[in-house]
């Protein structure tokens, strides 16, 4: 399809988008993508559709203004689609996700601004990271503690009666785990915030 012909479709989609109501979130992006898929499929039968064929397909599809209005009406019929005034704005939810992750996540789930998939990602990813880190850290710390205690006993037998002068490797492991833990605790909410912001921008 030539650039000119592709331009006719793009112009049509642009006109639909212009007349769509604001605040319909990800549904709006999905809606436009679906219309594009329909038009592409409708024109797929002909290898090189003429300009007249494209215009005919678009005419059959309907006036962009009417389609956008129809979308607005259908969405209005469902009160869940329009976020009630009690919902905090998206920027506040994102900020809370970064600063106070547990509270931010609860608000994310209550907000209609994101899809379920996004909500699951920002909830599960930090929890998995934290669990893996805590389990791994605990196991490593435990194994080093056991080894170092055995070493202390051995040295106590050799050097007795003096006190054992052993620097336990568990200490450095604890420091390392604490450092990674801190990075995860700061990094995960930050990742979630950025991810939610991107999804929000893409959905608009």
Partner 1 sequence: MTNMSSQMKKGIIEYCVLAVIAGRGYSYGYEIVRELSELGLAAQEGTMYPLLARLKKENLLESTWRQEGAGTPRKYYRLTPRGQGELCRFRAEWSDFCAAVNRVLREANQCE
Counting other chains too, the contacts that 139-146 makes at CB distance below 8 Å and 24 or more residues apart are 140/173, 140/177, 141/170, 141/173, 141/174, 141/177, 144/168, 144/169, 144/170, 144/173, 145/170
Q: Indicate the residue among 84 and 162 with the shorter CB distance to partner 1.
A: 84
Q: Indicate the residue among 42 and 133 with the shorter CB distance to partner 1.
A: 42
Nearest CA-CA partner of 174 in 199, 196, 141:
141
Q: Indicate the residue among 27 and 152 with the shorter CB distance to partner 1.
A: 27
Cβ at position 69, least distance to partner 1 in Å: 9
Q: Indicate the residue among 10 and 30 with the shorter CB distance to partner 1.
A: 30
Cβ at position 80, least distance to partner 1 in Å: 7
Residues engaged in binding partner 1 (CB under 8 A)? 27, 30-31, 33-35, 37-38, 40-42, 44, 60-62, 66-67, 70-71, 73-75, 77-78, 80-81
Q: Directed axis angle between helix 3-19 and helix 26-44, to 10°?
A: 150
């Amino acid at each position: 399809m030539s650039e000119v012909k592709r331009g006719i479709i793009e112009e049509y989609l642009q006109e639909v988008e212009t007349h769509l109501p604001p605040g319909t979130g990800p549904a709006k992006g999905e809606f436009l993508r679906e219309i594009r898929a329909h038009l592409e499929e409708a024109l797929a039968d002909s290898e090189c559709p003429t300009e007249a064929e494209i215009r005919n397909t678009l005419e059959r599809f309907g006036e962009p203004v009417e389609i956008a209005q129809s979308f607005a009406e259908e969405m209005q019929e469902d009160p869940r689609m329009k976020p009630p005034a009690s919902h905090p704005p998206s920027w506040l939810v994102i900020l809370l996700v970064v600063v106070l992750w547990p509270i931010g996540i609860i608000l994310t789930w209550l907000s209609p601004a994101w899809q379920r998939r996004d909500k699951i990602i920002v909830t599960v990813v930090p929890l998995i990271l934290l669990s893996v880190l805590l389990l791994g850290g605990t196991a490593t710390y435990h194994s080093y503690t056991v080894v170092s205690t055995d070493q202390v006993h051995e040295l106590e037998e050799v050097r007795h009666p003096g006190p054992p002068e052993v620097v336990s490797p568990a200490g450095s492991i604890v420091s390392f785990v604490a450092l990674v833990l801190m990075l995860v605790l700061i990094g995960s909410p930050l990742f979630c915030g950025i991810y939610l912001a991107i999804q929000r921008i893409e959905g608009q």
